Amino acid sequence: MTTTWTRRHVLSLADFTSDEYNTVLQTAASFSEVLSRRTKKVPTLQGQVVANLFFESSTRTRSSFELAAKRLSADILNFAAANSSLSKGETILDTAKTYLAMGTDMMVIRHKDAGVPSAIALEMDRLGVKVGILNAGDGQHEHPSQALLDLFTICTVIDPQQPRLELLAGKKVAIVGDILHSRVARSNIWSLTASGAEVHLAAPPTLLPQLFTDFANNRPGKLFLHWKLENALQEADFVMTLRLQKERMTSHLLPSLREYQQLFGITRQVLQLCKPTVKVLHPGPVNRGVEISSDLMDDPRLSLISTQVTSGVAVRMALLYLMGSGKA
Ligand code: NCD
């Protein structure tokens, strides 16, 4: 490894350096190799405690962090908001301090509101304790581990042996769907534009508002906005589809799901506009047949959805390892 990791918390990709991206990619590649062995466990984080604090629903992110921590031999505490003391009036900060008092070394935090993981990280720093905070998705803000696993997945398609940021230079990546509500899109915009890829966002205007024009103006030649799917897909190398996040929509932003599916749904037919080698990603969970057609989703020649889930464990092992060993 060429770089020393100095980051205690991973809250956002906004200030990630190329070295940091490459360190995560290389470390994830070695853990991916560990996960292909018969014995898939290493003693790296033995004795360390990882707490999964999920204040919002999750299937893959929560399980993926749990498995990653177990594969590194850490002890894992799983917290689920629904049956916790939050219902008795305990604050989120007091919940975090409770886990701190049990000797937690790293907290993986998901919350429906933007900024909660950062607020907990600030409090831990103020207390002077060496606890690493990992943002596992905060409101519409960021989801760094998802974007890092997407990056790893894309890079390993190009070079399975040596995934690295530079492989994406000049590639065209289309991100399609509910961009407005997507923390996955926001984190991916940071990582993909840092890689030198051309990022093309496509959505109906209600799901791709003015704010993103400002983002695009700040990244000339790197980030492009489209309100018609076809322009984003032309010659694309990768297409990242996003879930319509109905639970985050506070007003009617779409005339109907059927119309959305007809104009922005990813199907085999619209993929013909892309490069012949195109691959499709989706962070999950999927509204089958809405943002992506059901048969496409299940076609391993075109869809990287299962690979993303598999890669997620190695990438999260890398993050826990880098944060945990930095502390040591
Ligand atoms: C995403 C999330 O929760 O932000 N899912 C995930 O973590 N894999 C995307 C979504 O909810 O649509």
pTM of the model: 0.96
| Neighbouring residues of 328: CB distance < 8 A, sequence distance ≥ 6 | none
Pocket of ligand 1 (CB under 6 A): 60-61, 137, 143, 146, 183-184, 243, 245, 283-284
Q: What DSSP element (H or E) covers 191?
A: helix 183-195
Task: Using the atom order of ligand 1, give the atom closest to the CA of residue 283.
Answer: 8
209 pLDDT tier (thresholds 50, 70, 90): confident
CA of 283 from ligand 1 middle (Å) equals 6
Average pLDDT for 199-223 = 90
Average pLDDT for 44-67 = 96
**From the candidate CATH numbers 3.40.190.10, 3.40.50.300, 3.40.50.1370, 3.20.20.70, the one assigned to the domain spanning 18-142+310-324:** 3.40.50.1370
Average pLDDT for 273-285 = 98
Task: Using the atom order of ligand 1, give the atom closest to the CA of residue 284.
Answer: 8
CA of 61 from ligand 1 middle (Å) equals 8
pLDDT over threshold 50, residue 328:
no
pLDDT over threshold 70, residue 2:
no
C-alpha distances (whole Å) from 264 to each of 118, 179, 181, 238, 296 are 34, 12, 16, 16, 14
CA of 238 from ligand 1 middle (Å) equals 19
pLDDT over threshold 60, residue 188:
yes
For the CA atoms of 72, 16, 281, 214, the dihedral, rounded to the nearest 10 degrees, stands at: 150
Average pLDDT for 253-276 = 92
Backbone torsions φ then ψ of 137, nearest 5 degrees: 120, 110
User: pLDDT tens across 69-83, in order?
Assistant: 999 999 999 998 877
C-alpha distances (whole Å) from 229 to each of 119, 163, 164, 232, 285 are 38, 29, 29, 5, 21
**From the candidate CATH numbers 2.60.120.10, 3.40.50.720, 3.40.190.10, 3.40.50.1370, the one assigned to the domain spanning 144-307:** 3.40.50.1370
Average pLDDT for 291-310 = 97
CA of 129 from ligand 1 middle (Å) equals 30
Average pLDDT for 254-281 = 94
User: pLDDT tens across 86-103, in order?
Assistant: 877 889 999 999 999 999
